[in-house]
Structures are given as C-alpha cells and as structure tokens.
Structure 1
Amino acid sequence: MTITRPTKKKSIIIGLILSALIVSGCMRSSPVIQPPQIEGMFWQPDLATTAPKGNWDLLGVNTFVPQWSIVESKSWFDLDMDFPKWEKNINLKKLNQKPWAENIILGLAGEYDEKTARANVVNLATHSKKIIEQTQSYPLKGYYFPVEADPTWICVDDLAKAINILAKPVWISIYSAEQTPHHLDSWLRSWLPEHTGVFFQDGVGVGTRTPEQARKTLEQLQLEFGKEHIIIVLEAFRPKKNGQFRSAYPWEIAEQLKAYEGQKVYIFDGPHYMNRWTVYAVTLWYKLRYGS
C-alpha cells in the first residue's frame, strides 16, 4: 500500500485550517449537544464532475442527490429512454455502490435556466414520469423534482400540478431572497401537495442570511410541516466579487453545522465545493466537537 504524505505546503495549509477551526469554537462545549446529522449530498451534474468522486461518507453522508437525470432534453444517465445523452454518462448501479450513495434520491427532468424550467414545469413533469417508470427496478430512496420555488413565483400552482402526477416519495426545494422571510410557511401551505418533502436552501452561500437566521426560518417551517418533511440544505459555497462562487472554507461550513445542531443536513454540492481536504478538515472538527 502506498501512503501519500502531504507536501510541506499542504501541511502548512492544513495547520492553518485546523487553527482556524479551533479558534472558531470546535471543541465540544457540552455533552448534551445534539450533533447535526449530515445525511445527504447534492450534485449538479456537468461534464467536469462526471463521474462524481469524493470522500463525503467520512462526514456520515449515505444519500446522494443528482439534481437532474435529464436537462436540456439530454440524459445524464445510461437509462433506456428516448432522449439523446450527454457526452459523459453515469451508471446508476455503479453510483449506488459508492459508500456516500448507498441511498439515492434521483433528480428528474429539469433545465439549467430557472425561468425556462418554470415555464415548462408541466412538460418536465411528463418527462419525469417516464424517468420514474424506467427506474422502478432500482432501489431508490425517492425522487427530486428539480424546479425550485420561491414566493416570487406567481404561477407556483403549476408546480403543485406537476408534483401531483409524480410517484411518491418526491422532494422539491424552496428558497427565499428575504433575509428573514415572513409567512414562508403560509405560502408553502397554500399550494404544497401532501406527502411532498421539502429541501430548504439555507441562503448562507449566496449571502442572503446567517446560519442562525436560516435555523430560525427552518424551525418555523418545521413547526408547520414537521421535522421529517422539511430538511435544510447547507450551501457549501460563498460569493465572489465577479459574480462567481468559491468553495466555503472549512470553518465557514463548521459555523453552519453548529447552527444546525440536532437537524438532518444535506449539503450542496459535494463534487463542486467539498473536496477531500475540506472533508478531512470538517470531519476532524466534527469529531473534536461531538466526540464521534
């Protein structure tokens, strides 16, 4: 077995990361703290990250959520469907063998552009129904319909119609551009079909709110819908000045996880923002704080 030892430069970087984590309060402060349960990892398939590789299982991840099976009417998976395929394809059975993908919530049909997706939500649901029919033999945990909703979507009832033609269990995701959104629970109650799971995007990665504010909104939603039906999505990225995004630093992710103690957490997204060294650092912080 060949052991790859970190270079001097990497050793210095790791030391700085660990120091920052300790300063940020990584040591376990109380034996009664309920740690966050890092269950899932999102992935937006693209050619640069296909096939996905990572060590997210070190964080406890056992559920993988590829955001789309079909996007722009092209398939990311080697399923037998009447759609052209992207240049690279993913084998669903091989993906299921990864330790961080023991369970798969399969993303259905979507679009890269949000406006296009919303305008064609019913057609996307029709395509998604075909995907569900083709994957009945796979031991999937559920499905994710990748047309995101927020309170500015006037025709959000179209999303409800789309969800109603899909097999359960199905999940969707919501977000809000308001720092402390008012009546988000009432808005969701006004249209969400029963037995639909909801991923709430924390908004920390895009700079909308702090982790503590995200936790408060999450609890308001869970009070209305139940803890098992509303799960927070930790955005593992941060905005840059040029309008692009960078990976969140380990200590930034640690601050989010501290705010979400006692909660089930999904992370967005591993292949783009959670490389091996980040996972190692966050895993060490987790063990130091929670002792497991």
Structure 2
Amino acid sequence: MSRSPLSGALLLLVQWIAVDETAFVETTTMPMAPSLPPWQRIAEEPWAREVILGLAGRFDERAARADIGRLAEASATLARLKTPLNVVAWYFPVEIDPTWAEAQSLAPLLATLPRPLWISVYDSTNVGPDILVQGLMKWLPADVGVFFQDGVGVHAREPRIARHYAAVLSFHLGKDRVRIIAEAFRPQVGGGFRSATIDELRPQLASYAGYHVYLFDGPHYLSDALVGQISAAQAARGIPAR
C-alpha cells in the first residue's frame, strides 16, 4: 500500500484480510501471517479514513468457488474482529462472472454476512451488460452492492464500453449499488502485466465520471510517481480519486 494519498481519496478497499486460511489480522480462528500489515498506521492515513474490508478468500478462483460455504463462515467470524480501521462496509472476495453457473448458491451465504456488503463481478465471456445484470437479478440480495471490474487492463473492452456496463447495472440495480474497479495495469510484452501509464489511465478514469471508482491494485501497479500523476489529473478535472 502506498503512503502517497490520492487527491480527494478517503476510502480504501482491502481485497481480503484472510486468504488460503492465513489471516492478516490478529485472530485465534486461523493461522496468522508471520508479518501483519500496519493497520494502526494505515488507519491514520488520509486515504483510509473509511475502509471497505475484504473478508476471507482464496488466490485460486476455482478453489474459492468450490469452498464458498467455508469462506462465508470464516468471513462472518472475521467481520466480528476489532481492528483500528474505520470499517464502513464489507466485501466478500469470491468473484462472479457469467461462466459460474452455481453463483446463485451464494445468496443464502451472503445473508449470513454483515451489511453494508459488496461483491465483485466481471464479464469474462463478453455476454454484454444486459445478460450480465439479468443473471445477477435472479439471485443477488437487494441490499448487496456490486463492484464491476472494468476489464480495460486485460484489453477485454474499452473504457466507454465499461461505462455502458456500469450504466446498465445502475439502471437495474440502482446507482448506489454499483461502483467501478478500474484496472490500473496492462499486458506486458513477453507475458504478465505492467502498470498502466498516466496516458492510459487518464481517459479510462475520465470515462467513469459520476461513479465511485477504485484503482486495482495499489501494491502492485501504483507507484508513488504514478499516484502523483493521477492525483494531478483528477484534481484538474475536479474528480475525487478512490
């Protein structure tokens, strides 16, 4: 996590506080990581005045989907822990896309988790926003919000198309229930990913004006120099970065 605050950023989204049964907070319910994040220091940062706290997940998506019952149970326990953070909402970090036919089995499990609660959604097969939201509306509880992963970083779509997805989701679910995850990376020649440049990010973020936007992800792709460039670009447009 960068110490350099984004201009206007007040909210931090933490992907998870436990992954593959290793906790990054103090707990007696599972093994803890050898070194924990400096939560007290993070809580004092201007960009973490409010925190959406990710709960229990797995690095491997298939493994996570196959173990949603245990992850939900662990998440409910983790959500009761006290931390120095000002937690304003929770995030259940098992990602949803149209290929997951059993996604509806999440509904009763999400009911066991605290509110406000968010999940994340992406469109890996380009079914389009209408089919994507129709699938969600069949089972997603009405009080659970959606982080839409824009797919721009993996070149799945252009920012203007990602905004259209957000607009369709907002129309059906309500704008208060939809936020955008802006992928701050791009494919790297030779394989893997690199940080997006400011010239790549500027039009991406500008396309999402009017929405809450979260850059993914800080530890890997947001250097202090890039954060400064984003801050300047957002400040010039009068748009708070998150």
CA distance in 2, matches of 1:287, 1:138: 26
Question: Structure 1 residue 217: deviation in Å?
Answer: 0.9
Count of residue correspondences: 239
Paired residues of 1:106 and 1:143 also in contact (CA < 8 A): yes
Partner of 1:194: 142
Superposition deviation, residue 107 in structure 1: 0.8
Contact 2:6-2:230 at 8 Å conserved across structures: no
- Of the three residues 224, 231, 238, the one matched with 2:179 is 231
Is 1:271 the counterpart of 2:216? The answer is: no
Q: How does 1:10-159 map to 2 (within 5 A)?
A: 52-55=1-4, 57-77=5-25, 79-135=26-82, 139-159=86-106
Larger Rg: 1
Report how far residue 62 of structure 1 moved: 1.2
Report the CA distance shift for 1:142/1:217 in structure 2 as closer, same or farther (over 3 A).
same
Given the two structures, how large is their TM-score scaled by the length of structure 1? 0.77
1:173 equivalent to 2:120? Answer yes
Distance 1:150 1:180, change over 3 A: closer
The RMSD of aligned alpha carbons is 1.9
Unaligned runs of 5+ in 2: none
Paired residues of 2:3 and 2:45 also in contact (CA < 8 A): no
Identical residues among aligned pairs (%): 37
Q: Which of 1 and 2 has higher RCO (CA within 8 Å, sep 6+)?
A: 1
Q: Is the 8 A contact 2:58 2:64 kept in 1?
A: yes
Whether the 8 Å CA contact 1:180–1:209 is kept in 2: the answer is no
Q: Distance in 1 between matches of 2:85 and 2:7?
A: 25
Deviation at 1:271, TM superposition (A): 1.9
Structure 1 unpaired stretches of 5+? 1-51
1:185 to partner: Cα distance: 1.3
Distance 1:196 1:152 in 2: 20
Shift of 1:159: 1.8
- Structure 1 pair 285/183, CA: closer, same or farther in 2 (3 Å)? same
Instruction: Please report the TM-score for the alignment, with normalisation by the length of structure 2.
Output: 0.92
CA distance in 1, matches of 2:74, 2:122: 24
Runs of at least 4 residues of structure 1 off by over 6 A? none
